[in-house]
């Protein structure tokens, strides 16, 4: 038998020291792991890169983009979390706002200064223009909350809202409807921060998912100038509702256009739309109701 030159007592001591060292190392590793941040389930790159101030308790998991309160991530839509509600992303007003920031074929166009623009039913043109947009009835209900006021209801704010008609045309801009100003209107929020618009379900035109544009102002008086807007954004509709509506008469072009676009390829919603997807109820016979809570900073 080979002899290693150590006594039994020395061997036992060596084994004891080795075991103790391993236990100390294990305790050290566990303590170090406890101090490391825990990665969220799913490991989404866009959510792990975001900075959240406060606690989001809206019950909605943001898919797509979130951001910080101090800047915008290049190439993405910034969603700011403040208090207990997530602020809706800032989006482009598009080429057809009619809020005084651009021109149509006749020059600068601004419906915000025109008498009659403050209204709930926006299906017909107002002022010196006449005509009514046809389509499946839609009621839009927006609930505006102020993230700078603990997400309380933003009463006495104002919303300017506009969208295309059943053919995908925008009044005042598109060929054939430049003499119409329908599907545009301003409403003041009530004591609960709510506004309601009666309108028609918009088309899906080539290159965009069906959507509605809107601007938020801190008061009705300030809604006469686009320079006073505190938020410009858009919201979308669930595919199920779109498919139901577009199966009806007058929306045939929308069926083809919707088949060629998706949220993933849309140039506005491709970076996330969870805060911009309205809840839609109803049917094509009685009409639909689209509801959305919109958090802004004011």
Query: Which residues 6+ apart lie within 8 Å of 138 measured at CB?
Result: 198, 199, 200, 201, 202, 287, 288, 289, 290
In a domain, 121, yes or no: yes
- Token pair, residue 45, equals 């790159």
In a domain, 66, yes or no: no
| Positive/negative CA dihedral, 38, 75, 68, 143 | negative
- pLDDT value at position 84? 81
In a domain, 109, yes or no: yes
- pLDDT value at position 83? 56
- pLDDT value at position 24? 39
In a domain, 71, yes or no: no
Range of 167's domain? 99-296
What is the CATH number for 287?
2.60.130.10
From residue 206, how far is each of 77, 161, 168, 203 by CA, in Å?
22, 21, 8, 10
In terms of Cα–Cα distance, which of 187, 209, 185 is closest to 257?
A: 209
Helix, strand, coil proportions of the chain in percent (round to 5)?
20, 25, 55
- What is the four-CA torsion angle of 37, 42, 43, 46, rounded to 10 degrees? -120
In a domain, 133, yes or no: yes
Per-residue confidence of the chain (298 residues) as pLDDT tens digits?
Answer: 444 444 434 443 444 344 444 333 333 333 333 333 333 323 323 322 333 333 333 333 333 332 322 222 223 333 455 458 999 999 999 999 999 999 999 999 999 999 999 999 999 999 999 999 999 999 999 999 999 999 999 999 999 999 999 999 999 999 999 999 999 999 999 999 999 999 999 999 999 999 999 999 999 999 999 999 999 999 999 999 999 999 999 999 999 999 999 999 999 999 999 999 999 999 999 999 999 999 999 9
Three-state DSSP state, 198: strand
In a domain, 39, yes or no: no
In a domain, 211, yes or no: yes
Distance CA 13, CA 69 (A): 59
Q: How many domains does the structure of the chain reveal?
A: 1
In a domain, 106, yes or no: yes
């Amino acid at each position: 038998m080979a002899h290693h030159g150590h006594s039994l007592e020395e061997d036992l001591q060596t084994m004891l020291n080795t075991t103790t060292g391993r236990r100390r190392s294990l305790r050290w590793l566990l303590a170090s792991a406890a101090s490391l941040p825990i990665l969220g389930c799913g490991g989404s790159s866009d959510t792990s890169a975001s900075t959240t101030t406060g606690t989001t308790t809206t019950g909605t998991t943001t898919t797509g983009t979130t951001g910080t309160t101090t800047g915008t991530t290049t190439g993405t839509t910034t969603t700011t979390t403040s208090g207990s509600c997530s602020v809706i992303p800032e989006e482009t007003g598009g080429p057809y706002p009619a809020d005084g920031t651009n021109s149509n074929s006749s020059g600068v166009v601004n419906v915000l200064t025109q008498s009659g623009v403050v209204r709930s039913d926006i299906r017909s043109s107002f002022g010196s223009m006449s005509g009514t947009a046809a389509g499946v009835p839609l009621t839009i209900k927006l609930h505006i909350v102020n993230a700078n006021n603990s997400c309380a209801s933003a009463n006495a704010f104002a919303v300017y809202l506009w969208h295309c008609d059943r053919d995908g045309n925008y009044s005042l801009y598109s060929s054939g409807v430049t003499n119409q100003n329908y599907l545009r209107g301003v409403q003041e929020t009530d004591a609960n921060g709510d506004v309601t618009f009666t309108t028609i379900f918009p088309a899906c035109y080539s290159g965009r998912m069906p959507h509605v544009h809107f601007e938020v102002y801190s008061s009705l008086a300030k809604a006469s100038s686009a320079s006073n807007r505190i938020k410009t954004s858009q919201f979308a509709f669930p595919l199920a509702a779109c498919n139901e509506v577009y199966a009806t008469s007058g929306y045939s072009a929308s069926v083809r256009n919707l088949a060629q676009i998706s949220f993933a390829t849309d140039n506005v919603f491709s970076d996330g739309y969870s805060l911009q997807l309205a809840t839609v109820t109803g049917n094509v016979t009685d009409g639909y109701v689209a509801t959305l809570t919109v958090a802004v900073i004011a």
